Amino acid sequence: MNRIVPYIIFLLLLLYPNPLYSQALSPLSNNFQFELYNTNNGLTDNFISKIVTDKKGFLWIATKNGLSRYDGFHFKNYTHIPGDSSSLRSIWTTDMLLDSQGTLWVSTEGGICYYDEVNDCFRYINTSKDMQVLYKAPLCPGNDRSTIWVAAEDGLCRINTITKTFTHTSLHRTPDPQCIISDNHNRIWIGTRTNGMYRYDGTTHQHQKLNIPVIPADCQIMDFYKDTDGMVYGGTNAGLLCINDTTIQLFNKGSGNVSTTDFDDIMCITSFPKLTGPDRLLCGTYDNKVLVFDKNKKAFIYSWQNTNAKLSNMPHGIFSCLFTLHNILWIGTDHGMYKLNLDKQDIVTENIPQIMFSSNIVLVKQILQDPEQKHLLWMTLDKPLGGIAIYNTTQKKVTHWLQTLPKGKCPETCTAYNDLLTDNKGRIWALNDKEIHCYNTKTHSLTKHMLPRICMSADLDKENNLWIGTDKGILHYNTQTREYKLFDHVFNGTPVENSSLWWQFAATGIRHDGAHTVWVTSIKYGLFSFNCNTAQFTPHRQPFNTCYETKNRCSSLSFDSAGNIWIGTMAGLTTYYPRNDSFVNYNRIHGLQSTYVYSIRMDNRECIWGRGNSGIFYYDIAHKKFTNFLLPAEQSSAFFKQRISRADNKILAGFEGGYNIFDAPTLSTGNEAPPQPYIADCHVMNNRYYYNRDSVAFQQASFGHHASIFRFDFSAINYNDNNNATFLYMLDGLDKEWQKTDMPSYASYTHLSPGKYTFKVKTRNSAGIESTVIATFPFTIQSAFWQTWWFYTLIACALMALLYALYQVRIKRVTALYRLRSKISKDLHDDIGAALSSISIMSAVTQRKIDSHPQEAKIVATRIENTSRNMVGAISDMVWSINPDIDTLEQIIIRLREYMSNMFDETQTQYLLHCSPQLLTRKISMELRKDIYLISKEIINNTVKYSAAKHFTLYFSIEQHMLVMNAEDDGVGFDTTQTKKGNGLYNIIQRVKEQKGRSSITSDNNGTRWLIKMPLLK
């Protein structure tokens, strides 16, 4: 929020006795309060060229360093950014205009541009060669809604605001143009600096350079203004031009307080009837003057100029532009922008040049209104001057100096008064450290009385006797007999309290209740009551458990009508309720900005005014509301010496060089409508996403699933009372309740899930009235593809397919196990069953022939032995083949080598079994293992029985994931085409087919050769 700047002298009240605002201004003063805005507040530059407002209410300020946009809280600046074609081409901006469609047009040294609100940038309609702008290109609206006229060095141009294009007119040269205006007859008037005036007829397209006898040929024409009656006025260095249909008149004479009109160029002209009354113009000049021109009298009736260099915040410098908005006057200067708000004249400032010396400015400590002559103010002055100055509010000067230090004397010897009060006999009583001074208000005669104590504060009882707070207690002074009585008090506080100040008691505040009790505030120990009958002190201290409590460091006190005591403390404001001996404290939590309160005073409405370390404050007891007035730095020194005073229904507070007047009845009631909020900007994932509130109604913002961090900047347009607005915001779709902040701010949200949201902002004033408009920003965060319904459906289908596949695998495994078991069962039934049946039959034959044919029985028994042996071998092979621990080809090779040894050792055949090393550790399935073993065994068995070979070789290798078996012997061979297929040969071929392999056999007189290939992986 912009800092409230000091309020200074501006004597425009003399211009027009308007009853609309005369009630709000005290007869004690005719000042206005101003607020200054400069680069310290955020303005891009202090040299102001033009001020306008747009259709939304933003204030646009053209400066010599770009543009500033102001909403009453914050400035947003636009300047030239090298390489950015959407920024201003030049920082030198000289004129602005709002067309009939609400588009803002700006003239710069780089040409003419308009503000693109949707994209928050500027679009130029010309190139550097199309239009020549040396210093200024003034703008004015045409008589039709689509025309703007601009005067450049190379002549007059017409801008079409619809097509955003411009065309040159027949006027090809306007040197150094300063101002332009279109009158009611479609004539364009162009004023230049030292090059005269030009006129262009928009209907006939004729132009001419005017010869105006009333002004010199090199006259500087700086501004035009068209009144409501169509009259055109021109500001020049020779006076004010009045241009009507047929004549041009010059006015530079004065009347009233303007006897002579000595001024430089009239730089700007406007009207502000709410300030000056009707039929009057305000004119700002180059040399820091404000002139008021009466159109009926045809003369300047008032002139004002700031000549006091010490008042740095008074409007001064080159008055370059004037702009009015409702009850506010904006003044553009080369020192910043000043605001005069007629609705907020709660403080009036009087500066007293007579106490503003070059080496020192004297502090006004306390003010007392003369009991009879209300226009006179008695002011106690601080060192180095001291004494009392009687200030005449009508004459605006000090008329009498009482006990002030003569020139050349030591400042330490001056009379510095600590308190000032008047009795019901019209006498003024003043207290310094050791004396009581009594002044006669008519003759100013003085009576002195020495006292044995340091006098700090005083109050009068019903008998006009003084009760005085001293450094050691209190003192009663009889104003009739001039006798006094001391009531010292020694209070034993904590060691820190006892040693905190050099005074024994330090009674800085004292009040008599009108009965028999005196209430005293001690800056060391707190609140005390003194019973006048018993002469006893009673402490009323707030409890604490430390070495001291700042709430018990009390400076001053005041009574309300209910008998409650209001106390200023070093911890804020306190109310003491004597009936139940209780305290209520007020501090920053309750709206009081000051921590230390040095002086308080009850006004005639029973509201508390106080002076604290953060300025002046006002507390409305009935509505329980604080209003804080932040004073400028030059009015904030020595604030602990300043006392709040009353004059009629006004509150007075001095400062170095003058005093402020606070008018309580004009304080805001809070019933005004709150300012309308707006969303200033939006940041998504820490990147700016410019938000235009007009565009959202047509297209809702949409962001990808990665956009989970949002920040919304919000504010309100409010130039009237920035302290009277509370902001409420929420994110619909996430927040359940409205969030609250007292300042324009921002709201951040992180980890937002996909969905639809609406960010909302509204305002509320102190009376609880909410804004009729809620600023909204609706947006959508899109879901990622893995967060969509179709992706969830796909995942569900895939999961079901996976479960089905697992189910099928399980079924296949169960089926394979069943087939294996069936095969094992079949093999056992076929081979072992047949063998057992054969053994059973041969056993029966042997039993019959063992006696009659023993030789034949012996042969049959041999067969039984062989069959049993074969059956045991078959069972052993079967058990070996299904053993899960035997799952590599190396183990098959070991068993085959054992089998070949058993088969070939009793023959003459030499055998060789070989396997590729990479196959030895290869894991193979049980079915393949079994078939390899049985095929190999069958080939070996046939070789032993039929080949009569001398050599046999069995070789295992791998070829492209295929197991290759090469078996070869050099036996007698056989005819593969003629030989009847036996079970052995058939079994070999059948087993290879079951493994989806291939087999071939060749046999001749040189031997037999097998080539078998089976896949290792099915």
How far, in Å, CA of 387 to CA of 941, rounded? 143
Read off the CATH number of the domain in which 1008 is found: 3.30.565.10
pLDDT at 257: 54
Residue ending a domain, among 832, 851, 882, is 882
Percent of the chain with pLDDT over 70: 88
pLDDT at 480 over 80: yes
How far, in Å, CA of 75 to CA of 233, rounded? 33
Q: At what angle do helices 926-942 and 889-904 cross, to 10 degrees?
A: 20
pLDDT at 705 over 70: yes
Q: Are 749 and 848 in the same domain?
A: no
The first and second tokens of residue 431, run together, are 């207290």
pLDDT at 931: 86
pLDDT at 1013 over 80: yes
How far, in Å, CA of 719 to CA of 327, rounded? 10
Instruction: List, in order, residues 6 or more apart from 352 with CB less than 8 Å away.
Output: 364, 389, 391, 397, 398, 657, 658, 659
Q: Are 218 and 109 in the same domain?
A: yes
Q: What is the four-CA torsion angle of 46, 48, 54, 56, rounded to 10 degrees? A: 20
On whether residue 462 sits in a domain, the answer given is no
Instruction: Provide mean pLDDT across the span 961-983.
Output: 80
How far, in Å, CA of 554 to CA of 601, rounded? 14
User: Which of the two residues, 11 and 386, has the higher pLDDT score?
Assistant: 386
Q: Are 797 and 778 in the same domain?
A: no
Instruction: Provide mean pLDDT across the span 688-703.
Output: 66
Instruction: List, in order, residues 6 or more apart from 820 with CB less than 8 Å away.
Output: 882, 926, 927
How far, in Å, CA of 469 to CA of 462, rounded? 17
pLDDT at 379 over 80: yes
Instruction: Provide mean pLDDT across the span 202-217.
Output: 93
User: Is the omega angle on the peptide bond into residue 406 within 30 degrees of 0, that is, cis?
Assistant: no
Instruction: Provide mean pLDDT across the span 649-666.
Output: 81
How far, in Å, CA of 959 to CA of 919, rounded? 11
Q: Write the CA distances from 4 to 180, 484, 632, 667, 669, integer angstroms.
A: 36, 48, 8, 16, 20
How far, in Å, CA of 105 to CA of 304, rounded? 33
Confidence of residue 665 (pLDDT cuts 50, 70, 90): very low
Asked if 190 contacts 150 with a C-beta cutoff of 8 angstroms, the reply is no
How far, in Å, CA of 215 to CA of 224, rounded? 15
Q: Are 841 and 901 in the same domain?
A: no
pLDDT at 829: 60
How far, in Å, CA of 404 to CA of 389, rounded? 8
Q: Are 258 and 297 in the same domain?
A: yes
On whether residue 541 sits in a domain, the answer given is no
Candidate ranges 447-461, 816-830, 964-978; pick with highest mean pLDDT: 447-461
- List pLDDT tens digits, range 267-325: 999 999 888 888 999 999 998 888 899 999 888 888 777 665 555 556 778 899 999 98
pLDDT at 695: 47
Q: Are 852 and 987 in the same domain?
A: no
Is 631 in a helix, a strand, or coil? coil
Instruction: Provide mean pLDDT across the span 927-941.
Output: 86
**907 half-sphere exposure, CB direction, 13 A CA radius:** 21
Residue ending a domain, among 737, 758, 787, is 787
pLDDT at 13 over 50: no
Candidate ranges 515-519, 703-707, 819-823; pick with highest mean pLDDT: 515-519
pLDDT at 21: 30
pLDDT at 765: 81
Q: Which residues of 635-666 are buried (b: 16+ CB within 10 A; e: fewer)?
A: bbeebebbbbbbbeebbbbbbbbbbbbbbbeb
How far, in Å, CA of 946 to CA of 952, rounded? 13
How far, in Å, CA of 344 to CA of 327, rounded? 9
Q: Are 907 and 875 in the same domain?
A: no
Q: Are 334 and 239 in the same domain?
A: yes
**699 half-sphere exposure, CB direction, 13 A CA radius:** 7
pLDDT at 640 over 90: no
- List pLDDT tens digits, range 575-626: 999 999 999 999 988 889 899 999 999 988 889 999 998 889 999 998 888 8
Write out the H or E segment, with its range, that includes residue 900: helix 889-904
Asked if 687 contacts 646 with a C-beta cutoff of 8 angstroms, the reply is no
Read off the CATH number of the domain in which 754 is found: 2.60.40.10
Q: Report CA Rg, the chain.
A: 55
On whether residue 853 sits in a domain, the answer given is yes
Confidence of residue 961 (pLDDT cuts 50, 70, 90): confident
On whether residue 71 sits in a domain, the answer given is yes
On whether residue 523 sits in a domain, the answer given is no
Phi, psi of 505 (to 5 degrees): -130, -45
**Nearest-5° Cα angle at 481, 478 to 486:** 45
User: Which of the two residues, 522 and 679, has the higher pLDDT score?
Assistant: 522
How far, in Å, CA of 48 to CA of 68, rounded? 10
Instruction: Provide mean pLDDT across the span 391-396.
Output: 89
Q: Are 968 and 853 in the same domain?
A: no
Q: Are 901 and 865 in the same domain?
A: no
Number of structural domains the chain divides into: 4
pLDDT at 343: 75
How far, in Å, CA of 559 to CA of 509, rounded? 12
Q: Are 165 and 244 in the same domain?
A: yes
For residue 414, give the nearest of 470, 362, 457, 456 by alpha carbon: 362
| pTM more than 0.85 | no
On whether residue 741 sits in a domain, the answer given is yes
- List pLDDT tens digits, range 408-445: 676 667 889 999 999 988 899 999 988 999 999 999 99
Asked if 510 contacts 519 with a C-beta cutoff of 8 angstroms, the reply is yes
Asked if 785 contacts 791 with a C-beta cutoff of 8 angstroms, the reply is yes
pLDDT at 692: 63
Q: Are 835 and 907 in the same domain?
A: no
Range of 992's domain?
886-1015
Instruction: Provide mean pLDDT across the span 840-844.
Output: 75
Confidence of residue 404 (pLDDT cuts 50, 70, 90): confident
- The count of other CB atoms within 10 Å of the CB of residue 10 is 21
Residue ending a domain, among 747, 769, 787, is 787
How far, in Å, CA of 476 to CA of 74, rounded? 56
pLDDT at 10: 36
On whether residue 602 sits in a domain, the answer given is no
Task: Give the mean pLDDT of the chain.
Answer: 85
Instruction: Provide mean pLDDT across the span 48-55.
Output: 95
Confidence of residue 255 (pLDDT cuts 50, 70, 90): low
Is 858 in a helix, a strand, or coil? helix
End-to-end CA distance of the chain: 81
Q: Summarize the chain as % helix, strand, coil (round to 5).
A: 20, 40, 40
**What 8-state DSSP symbol labels residue 144?**
S
Q: Write the CA distances from 419 to 9, 365, 517, 524, 660, integer angstroms.
A: 28, 9, 21, 19, 19
How far, in Å, CA of 44 to CA of 393, rounded? 40
pLDDT at 105 over 80: yes
On whether residue 535 sits in a domain, the answer given is no
Percent of the chain with pLDDT over 90: 51
- The count of other CB atoms within 10 Å of the CB of residue 604 is 12
Instruction: Provide mean pLDDT across the span 731-741.
Output: 92
Q: Which residue type occupies 912?
A: L
pLDDT at 8: 30
Task: Return the residue matching tokens 């902001």.
Answer: 727
Instruction: Provide mean pLDDT across the span 894-912.
Output: 86
Confidence of residue 172 (pLDDT cuts 50, 70, 90): very high
Give the range among 176-185, 216-225, 641-650, 963-972 with minimum mean pLDDT: 641-650
